[in-house]
Structure 1
């Protein structure tokens, strides 16, 4: 059998211009069938958005209470204003939560599962709103035992590297039932623990409400009265 000597790249391309891609040209002008290329290894397939959602839900389903410190960044699009604050948050099932903002802010956000009270220390006023109309419980219901990620959201997996989030996944959740409280929520999930390390809430006006959680503690007793709040005397109470 004649030994085949392959041409240089430019000659090979010219000689085989009209030959099917599966054929190679030998030096005497005859063609020889090329050996089929070995199939490429399939890329490792990661978990789907719904699978990650189920993992997150399973973690929080195992908790009765959740406490963490938080750093909040609230961006008002139309004013191009960014407000930063920090504090401590506590959730207790079913449906209770308490946000305590560090000084000098001093604000409080408290829900007993039915009514949410948002106290603004600087303005000496407090807003009382039914839970169903507030973005806090609506977007974080999976934390408080009043919602399910896969059931309540259409989930989409975003590129964590592009979102500058290392060590986990970024889930985009669009509520299946439209709500005036917000349009989407992004959950930044730790791949090792399945805990949510960051929540980004986006509303219809383009405002962004971001919470970064740290030092989480679960299933610890909560102090009596944590989810009750009475504002200081002289506070103006605003109701819908």
Structure 2
């Protein structure tokens, strides 16, 4: 779970008429007009017990920047430091505690992943089936189901409020659920290509996949 950009908390949401158009419009506006962004995130792992109650089993937080398509830096700062970074061609995962770097080709990996919604191009309907979601605390949600069977995610939800990105909710094929909430988002800041180029730390082990 350490290397996944996953977020989902399902349940307790009331379906509302008219949500689809509003949420879908906000998503389309987001992916077409927000070419770059920076902000902060909190990620929580959520588990449902046999009694139906949910509990948080893990929390992490950090910062992110991205520039479409395929450039991003997702930096965990708590409870441990870790970095996921892509320059449009290569995805790098750096674990500071282990001083270990893992590299792999980005290729089409964004296609039906949650990262595609935030960092990819605007052809979401090519890779996802969109469905009306729910309204909770004023946040309008849209559910996205990956069309590809070759994905670890069963369902993804993204929430907007007043045109602003608020959170993502995901459930993977193993039933694991994680919630991401976003804050302090700056839309279309000036970002240089160097901010997405990873420099291998001295003495780090490098694994290529």
Kindly indicate whether the alpha-carbon contact (under 8 Å) linking 1:126 and 1:237 is maintained by their aligned counterparts in 2.
yes
TM-score, scaled relative to structure 1:
0.67
1:69-116 Cα shifts (integer Å, max 9, x gaps): 111124589xx9933221111110221101122256221110111221
Q: What is the Cα deviation at residue 173 of structure 1?
A: 0.9
CA RMSD of aligned residues (A): 2.9
Corresponding residue for residue 24 of structure 1 = none
5+ residue gaps in structure 2?
1-15, 49-54
How far apart are the structure 1 equivalents of 2:74 and 2:191?
13
How far apart are the structure 1 equivalents of 2:83 and 2:35?
22
Change in 2 beyond 3 A, CA 1:166/1:95 = same
Corresponding residue for residue 83 of structure 1 = 58
Q: What is the Cα deviation at residue 136 of structure 1?
A: 9.6
Q: What is the Cα deviation at residue 175 of structure 1?
A: 1.0
Q: What is the Cα deviation at residue 210 of structure 1?
A: 2.6
Which of 145, 164, 179 aligns to 2:150? It is: 179
TM-score, scaled relative to structure 2:
0.75
Q: Which has the higher contact order (CA 8 A, sep 6+)?
A: 2
1:195-230 Cα shifts (integer Å, max 9, x gaps): 331112322222234321101101111145211112
How far apart are the structure 2 equivalents of 1:167 and 1:63?
22
How far apart are the structure 2 equivalents of 1:227 and 1:47?
39
Structure ID, larger Rg = 1
How far apart are the structure 1 equivalents of 2:173 and 2:72?
24
- Larger strand share, 1 or 2: 2
Corresponding residue for residue 183 of structure 2 = 214
Work out the number of aligned pairs and report it: 188
Corresponding residue for residue 237 of structure 1 = 206
